[in-house]
Amino acid sequence: MEKLLEVKNLETSFKTSAGEVHAVRGVSFDLEKGEALGIVGESGCGKSVTMMSIMRLLADNGRLAGGEIFFNGKDISNVKESEMETIRGNDIGMIFQDPMTSLNPVYTIGDQLMEPLLKHRKISKAEARKEAINMLGLVGIPSPEKRMKQYPHEFSGGMRQRAMIAMSLICAPKLIIADEPTTALDVTIQAQILDLMKDLKQKLDTAIILITHDLGVVADVCTKINVMYGGIIVETGTTEDIFYRGKHPYTWGLLRSVPNPKEDVKEKLIPIEGQPPDLLNPPVGCPFAARCDYAMKVCLQKQPPLFEVGEKHHTACWLCHEDAPKVESPIRRMK
Ligand code: SF4
Give the CA count within 13 Å in the CB-facing half-sphere of 87: 21
- pLDDT classification of 120: cutoffs 50, 70, 90: confident
Q: Is the CB of 249 under 6 A from ligand 1?
A: yes
What is the maximal distance between C-alpha atoms in the chain? 68
1 pLDDT exceeds 90? no
Q: How many residues does the chain have?
A: 335
311 pLDDT exceeds 60? yes
Ligand 1 centroid from CA 275, angstroms: 15
- Topology of 3-102+174-320 in CATH? Rossmann fold (3.40.50)
Residue-wise DSSP of 127-192: HHHHHHHHHHHHTT-SSHHHHTTS-GGGS-HHHHHHHHHHHHHTT--SEEEEESTTTTS-HHHHHH
Pocket test for ligand 1, best of 234, 301, 318, 321 (most atoms within 8 A of CB): 318
Q: Is the CB of 316 under 6 A from ligand 1?
A: no
259 pLDDT exceeds 70? no
264 pLDDT exceeds 60? no
CB count in 10 Å sphere of residue 312: 10
**Mean pLDDT, the chain, whole residue set:** 91
- pLDDT classification of 268: cutoffs 50, 70, 90: low
Residue 210 zone, left/alpha/beta (φ > 0; ψ -120 to 50; rest): beta
> Looking at beta carbons, which pairs linking 77-85 to residues 24 or more positions away fall under 8 Å?
81/56, 84/55, 84/56
What local confidence, expressed as pLDDT, does residue 17 receive? Answer: 96
Q: Is the CB of 51 under 6 A from ligand 1?
A: no
Closest C-alpha among 187, 175, 182 to residue 37: 175
What local confidence, expressed as pLDDT, does residue 73 receive? Answer: 92
CA distance 333 to 335: 6
Atom of ligand 1 at shortest range from CA of 298 = 2
| pTM assigned to the model | 0.92
Atom of ligand 1 at shortest range from CA of 293 = 1
236 pLDDT exceeds 70? yes
CA distance 201 to 82: 28
Sign, CA torsion 48/50/54/56: positive
Tell me the domain boundaries of the chain: 3-102+174-320
CA distance 206 to 156: 26
What is the DSSP code (8-state) at residue 269? Answer: -
Atom of ligand 1 at shortest range from CA of 294 = 8
The contacts of residue 264 (CB under 8 Å, 6+ apart) are none
Q: Average pLDDT for residues 118-138, to the nearest whole number?
A: 92
- pLDDT classification of 265: cutoffs 50, 70, 90: low
pLDDT tens-digit readout, 26-52: 999 999 999 999 999 998 899 999 999
Q: Average pLDDT for residues 173-188, to the nearest whole number?
A: 86
Could you tell me if 247 and 320 are in contact, meaning their C-beta atoms sit under 8 angstroms apart? yes
**Amino acid letter for position 30:** D
CA distance 180 to 95: 8
pLDDT tens-digit readout, 192-230: 888 888 888 888 889 999 999 888 889 889 999 999 999
Could you tell me if 313 and 237 are in contact, meaning their C-beta atoms sit under 8 angstroms apart? yes
The contacts of residue 219 (CB under 8 Å, 6+ apart) are 239, 243, 258, 261
What local confidence, expressed as pLDDT, does residue 319 receive? Answer: 97
CA distance 101 to 274: 32
Q: Average pLDDT for residues 40-68, to the nearest whole number?
A: 94
Nearest-CA residue for ligand 1 atom 7 is 289
